[in-house]
Structures are given as C-alpha cells and as structure tokens.
Structure 1
Amino acid sequence: VKKQKVKIRSKRYQDAAKLVDKNKLYSINEAVDLVKKTSLTKFDGTVELHINLNPASLGEKKEYRTNVTLPHGTGKEVRVAIADDKILSEIEAGKINFDILVAHPSLMPKLAKVARILGPKGLMPNPKTGTVSPDPERRAKELAKGEMNIKTEPGNPIIHMPIGKVSFESSQLKENIDAVINTIGTSKLAKLTLSATMGPGVKVQIS
C-alpha cells in the first residue's frame, strides 16, 4: 500500500495562512485586502475566484456556462482576432498570434479545415462561448474589453477564474467580483473563495 505524501507548505505560506481565519466568512472588502496581504509571489500574482455553485440550481445537466464582463479586466492583455482568409492561411502555416478567435457564421465551413489545429488549443470559434457572431467586429471589441466565458468543471459544480492582479486597487478587484456575483446570481452560489497565486484561500460571505 502506497503511503500518501503529506504536502509540506513553506514557512512563508504557513505565516500567511495564520492571518486567515478558516472558520470566518469575510466581506468582499476584507477578503480582497487579506488576499493582497497574503500574496506570496515576488511577481505580480493573479487573484483568483473559486466559485462553488448550488447543484440544485443547475438543472438536469448539472453544468453552468455564461459570459461575464469584468469592468477592469484580468490584468492580462487579450489578443482577439477576427477570422478571415489571411488568418486562415496563418493558422495553416502554424502561426497563431491570438488568444481568442471570433468568426462570422458564414466562415465556419472554412474554419472546419483548421479545426484539428484550433480545437486542441481551445481556440475554435463556438456559439456556446460567444465567439461566433453576425457582427464579429463588435464582438471582438467586447471580448478585448474583458468579457469572459466561464463554465463549471466537468462533473463538478465549480468555476475557477482570474479576476485581476494583486497590483489592482482593492476597489477594482471588488468591482470585478461584484460583476461575477451579479451575473451568476446569489441564488446559485454555495461558496466563494478568493486567493492569490500560491496564497491561502479566503472564504467570502455571499450577501
């Protein structure tokens, strides 16, 4: 019988974790300040929101997907491209200089030729993710401004998503979190946890 390895946390992590009361639900303002204080990385870490949804609110499929716009973005520049013949040629040549590809429905038959390249990378335009649009120019601008497609994990009512950087103002992080809560709706929320890259989780009160 294999012995399960015990995960040993660094002293810095343990010191940071001592600042967090595991049994307390913090207000969003308190949680944001605490996450910034307990960030462990020397680089500008990402602040992540971990969302546990109420399974009873998800219907028979037990999954959830939606688009949410973060008013202050995630702190990462998102390269959005609009599919055309030039982009198709670049993809076929192995050049992918974008993070999101938006396409007009009429171009989908042509994109099928490069689906084997885009699919495994999660870059294939799809109506479910809002990347197939009759107005791709407008859609590209919305996505570049901070709109994200979020969904639950396969088989688990959990969503993990970035909501900014540690260097963001506390008010910016709070407004991004509020945008997520307002989009999903409090009735669907079972638990919220906030953390910075490699930092301890802070439980957030759902109000």
Structure 2
Amino acid sequence: MRGIRINHLIFVSHKIMGKVKPRILGLEDVEKKQKQEQKQKASEKKLNKQKKSPVGVGLDRPVSVGRDQSVSIEHAQPMSDTAPKKEKKQPTKKKTVRRRGEKYQKVKQMVDKNKRYSLKEASALIKKLKTAKFDEAVELHLNVEKVGLKGEIDLPYSTGKIIKVAVVDDALLAKIEAGKLDFDILVSHPSFMPKLARFAKILGPKGLMPNPKNGTISTTPEEVVKKFAKGVLRWKTEPKFPLIHQMIGRVSLSEKQIEENAAAFLSAVGKQKIQKVVIKLTMSPGIKIDLEKLG
C-alpha cells in the first residue's frame, strides 16, 4: 500500500483482486453515506420486485426486503381485469299536473262534492253542466261488488249512439280476413261458426265473437239484428276491476228521459250489487248519486 499526500488529502491505493482501487483518506463519512445509498437502492429494487410478483390469497406474513425494511402481505385480493362500469342515470320524468279550463272550473262550483244527489236532482243539474259545443254523452260510472258482472238492457229512450250490427256471411268473412271490422255487434247462424272459428283470436279480444250467452248466435239472425238495432245495450265490468262505465244517453235528452234511462240501467245491474254511482257528461265533473234514494 502506498500513500501520496496532496493538499492535505491522502490518496491510498490498494490492490483488491488484482485491481488497483484508489481510496481517499479523511472522507470516511462520504464513503459511509455512499454505501447507505447503495443499500437503500438495493432494498427499494427488491421491494419493487415483490410488489410486481403475484401474491396468493390468504397470506399474512412479512416478507423481508432489506436489513431494516419489511413488507406485510395481508389477504391480497386478485385484481379484476375490467373496471366496474358506471351506471347511467336515467332522466326522471316530470309529472305534469292537468289543469282544467275556465268553463270547467265554473261548472265545478255548481256541484257540491260532499252531497249525494237523487236521480231527479242529478238529472236536472247535469243539463246545466254542458260546456262543449257537441252533444255530450251522459255517462254512468259504477263501483260494484265483484268482477264479471254483465248483462243486457233495452233502455226506455235511445242513447243516440248508432250501433252497427252485422250478420256473418262469406263476404263478411273476407272482410274480417282483410282486417276490416266495421261493426259493433256480430251475429251468426250456427252453420257459420266453424268458418268463423279461425278468426277467434281477432274477434275475441275485441268482444265481437258471437256467443250463445249474449244471444248473438241464432237460427234467426235477422230477428237478433232488429233487437240490437232498437238500442239494446250490453254492459259488463272491466276485465280486472269491479267497475262499469256506460253511456245512457245524450245531454240533448230531457231531464225526465235522462232520469228514466239511468234508473232502468241501475235496476238492471241491481241496487244490492252497487257500491257507488257517479253520473256525468263527457266534459263535466261527476255528480254522486244517493243509493238510498234509488227505487
């Protein structure tokens, strides 16, 4: 080993494994710091390798990465390949409040919503509730005891509604096949029912399929047509709710005619089966009927 003194620094050269490595004496602190930095870099490198390597689920032990450092692996979970998708928020629809016109608000004040009227009182009042320019329909709306009620009635006075009644023949079958259903009631002779059966899916949902229960299958279909042409009404509850909605005339009828038509219809349904009755025009508020005053 040889030493050379230059400006108060001593360079010492010593031979290590056949190589001459110069060393500066007097700077031991610098050398220690360099060694610590090298160790720190080495430990960081090992730590990075440990992070990149796959980790088993359920491990709970420290992994040594250096003299003074360790990493604890606790119940690592496998990473998902796909990030969770954000759900799109659907725009909420604003509820629109229906506002009635001035004419409706005016006639509404004429009806006492807390009162139950007799048929005579209601028939007189309903004539005053007309606001539309056309001949409004007089309607009865009933809450009944159960679903499935139905029947027929021949009202004392015409409802003003034109009912189209058709009789099944070969020409009509061709129209039905083409999708033309320009009738309200269909009457058939028993001999045509086998031919009509293939249209059951078209006529059935619309309530147009001839049925012996409602009298639309007859050996004398012409007589049935005359009966319905006079204004015989067929009524029934809604399919899933115990409600009946029926037109019984027009506002152009007299008070007495409206009263008699309403009384006849309510009698056909049966007072004991009715829970609530409201009479109204097409464009008017409803008038509650007193069931106790029904005949």
| Superposed pair shares fold, TM > 0.5 | yes
**Segment of structure 1 superposing worse, 96-105 or 111-120:** 111-120
Aligned to 1:16: 107
Aligned to 1:157: 242
Within 2, Cα distance between the matches of 1:119 and 1:157?
A: 21
2:237 counterpart letter in structure 1 = T
Shift of 1:181: 1.5
Out of 105, 121, 135, the residue aligned to residue 30 of structure 1 is: 121
The question of 1:99 aligning with 2:184 is answered yes
- The CA RMSD measured in Å over matched residues stands at 2.0
Q: Which residue of 2 aligns with 1:39?
A: 130
Matched-pair contact (CA < 8 Å) for 1:40–1:197: no
Per the TM alignment, residue 178 of structure 1 is displaced from its structure 2 partner at its CA by: 1.5
SS at structure 1 position matched to 2:246: strand
Q: 1:143 to 1:178 in 2, by over 3 A?
A: same
Report the Cα distance in structure 2 between the residues aligned to 1:81 and 1:71, rounded to whole angstroms. 24
Q: Calculate percent identity across the aligned residue pairs.
A: 49
For 1:189 and 1:44, the matched residues in 2 are separated by: 28
Mapping for residues 27-176 of structure 1, pairs under 5 Å: 27-53=118-144, 55=145, 58=146, 62-176=147-261
Q: CA deviation at 1:27?
A: 1.2
SS of the residue 2:159 aligns to: coil
Tell me the alpha carbon deviations over residues 40-76 of structure 1, each in whole angstroms, 9 at most, x when there is no partner.
21111111110111x2xx4xxx321111222212201
TM-score, with length taken from structure 2: 0.63
Out of 97, 112, 116, which is 1:6 matched to? 97
List alignment gaps of at least 5 residues for structure 1. Answer: none
Cα deviation for residue 94 of structure 1 reads 4.3
Gaps spanning 5+ residues in structure 2: where?
1-91
Residue 193 (structure 1) aligns with: 278
| Bigger relative contact order (CA 8 A; separation at least 6) | 1
Amino acid at match of 1:35: I
Change (3 A) 1:98 1:3: closer
Quote the Cα distance in structure 2 between the aligned partners of 1:191 and 1:121: 27
Q: Distance in 1 between matches of 2:215 and 2:112?
A: 39
Corresponding letter in the other structure for 1:46: A
Which whole-Å CA distance do the structure 2 matches of 1:133 and 1:190 have between them?
35
Work out whether residues 81 and 140 of structure 1, in 8 Å CA contact, stay in contact via their aligned partners in 2: yes
The 2-side partners of 1:63 and 1:130 are apart by 18
**Matches of 2:206 and 2:189, distance apart in 1:** 20
C-alpha contact (below 8 Å) 1:26/1:205 kept by paired residues: yes
**Greater shift in the superposed pair: 75-84 or 17-26:** 75-84
Question: Is 91-100 or 189-198 further displaced after alignment?
Answer: 91-100
SS of the residue 1:139 aligns to: helix
DSSP 3-state at the match of 1:21 = coil
Q: Which has the larger radius of gyration?
A: 2
Take 1:203 and 1:101, find their aligned partners in 2: how far apart are those partners? 35
